[in-house]
């Protein structure tokens, strides 16, 4: 089966699951986020072990990650810094009592990074749904990211001539990158217009559309480049082969993990 066909079939299977969980929010969405956190942490820790030769017990980090997920689910972002301080102390204490001396600093650094990068960022998917019409704002974000990724991919593959603009992703072209930015603004406007016409719901203001375009078009693609940078450092193409045609959890959700916190900050502090 061709890679593109596999990629499309995976999207057809997993896409509706994400949309359904986003629509209902609450416990279904939180369970999905927890599953994503577990597999994402496992991917990361195994990459650290394989490519950096640093032993990290992924199931311990995953346990910490689930505690972060459900702590935020029940209490929001209150006291989250205190929780991370506890995890740092526990991580150091684990090395002390297990008599692990070599690579302690690196192990703790990778552990804390994994907890911030994966469960903490993923939990913003749930936090967005707490706002008025938050479930639809989250769905809007996901759909816009999918469209932007698709536009950047196909236009870059067809018309991309200026490549190697980012060392993290040698195949990404300037044409594809700009297409992703433009498509984010264009389709943010078009999708909102369609929703308004069909359901008579004015979901986004003009300012919202502009912000969505910036968050998805620029920072969403930045999320992809961040993940590519990490993979280049680990010298791997994909974080895993869990999702056929897409790679691993971190490969599939990299744009969303950066876009969701920014959308939350906009909704919470500016809108």
- Domain, as residue range, for 96: 26-128
Cα 121 from chain centroid? Answer: 7
pLDDT band at 232 (very low <50, low <70, confident <90, very high): very high
The answer on pLDDT for 213 being more than 90 is yes
Q: What is residue 169's predicted lDDT score, i.e. its pLDDT? A: 81
Q: Which residues contact 213 (CB under 8 A, 6 or more apart)?
A: 181, 184, 185, 188
Quote the DSSP letter at residue 266.
I
Q: For residue 121, count other CB atoms closer than 10 A to its CB.
A: 21
* Domain end (from 128, 163, 197): 128
Q: What percent of the chain has pLDDT over 70?
A: 97
The answer to the question of residue 170 being in a domain is: yes
Q: What is residue 100's predicted lDDT score, i.e. its pLDDT? A: 81
Whether residues 111 and 156 share a domain: the answer is: no
Work out how many domains the chain is built from and give that number: 2
The half-sphere exposure of 189 on its side-chain side, counting CA atoms within 13 A, is 8
Task: Give per-residue pLDDT as tens, 246-260.
Answer: 789 999 999 999 999
Q: From CA 223, how far away is CA 253, in angstroms rounded?
A: 9
Q: What is residue 2's predicted lDDT score, i.e. its pLDDT? A: 54
Q: What is residue 60's predicted lDDT score, i.e. its pLDDT? A: 93
Whether residues 156 and 201 share a domain: the answer is: yes
Whether residues 164 and 233 share a domain: the answer is: yes
Which stretches of the chain are assigned E, i.e. beta strand?
Answer: none
The answer on pLDDT for 245 being more than 90 is no
Q: What is residue 3's predicted lDDT score, i.e. its pLDDT? A: 63
Q: What is residue 218's predicted lDDT score, i.e. its pLDDT? A: 96
For residues 45-68, give the mean pLDDT: 95
What's the CA angle centered on 181, arms 175 and 185, to 5 degrees?
Answer: 140
Q: What is residue 46's predicted lDDT score, i.e. its pLDDT? A: 96
Question: pTM higher than 0.85, yes or no?
Answer: yes
């Amino acid at each position: 089966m061709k890679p593109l066909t596999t990629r499309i079939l995976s999207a057809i299977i997993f896409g509706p699951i994400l949309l359904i969980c986003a629509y209902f929010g609450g416990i279904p969405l939180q369970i999905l986020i927890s599953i994503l956190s577990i597999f994402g942490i496992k991917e990361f820790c195994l990459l650290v072990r394989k490519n950096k030769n640093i032993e990290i017990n992924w199931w311990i980090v995953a346990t910490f990650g689930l505690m972060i997920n459900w702590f935020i689910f029940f209490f929001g972002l209150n006291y989250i810094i205190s929780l991370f301080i506890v995890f740092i102390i526990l991580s150091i204490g684990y090395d002390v009592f297990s008599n692990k001396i070599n690579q302690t600093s690196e192990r703790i650094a990778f552990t804390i990074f994994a907890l911030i990068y994966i469960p903490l960022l993923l939990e913003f998917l749930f936090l967005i749904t707490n706002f008025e019409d938050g479930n639809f704002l989250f769905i809007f974000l996901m759909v816009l990211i999918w469209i932007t990724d698709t536009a950047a991919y196909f236009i870059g593959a067809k018309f991309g001539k200026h490549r190697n603009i980012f060392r993290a992703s040698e195949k990404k072209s300037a044409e594809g990158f700009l297409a992703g930015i433009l498509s984010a603004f264009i389709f943010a406007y078009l999708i909102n217009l369609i929703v308004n016409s069909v359901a008579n719901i004015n979901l986004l203001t003009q300012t919202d559309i502009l912000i969505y375009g910036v968050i998805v078009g620029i920072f969403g693609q930045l999320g992809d480049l961040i993940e590519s940078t990490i993979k280049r450092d680990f010298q791997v193409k994909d974080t895993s082969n869990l999702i056929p045609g897409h790679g691993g959890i971190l490969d599939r959700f990299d744009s969303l993990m950066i876009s969701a916190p920014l959308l939350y900050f906009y909704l919470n502090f500016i809108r």
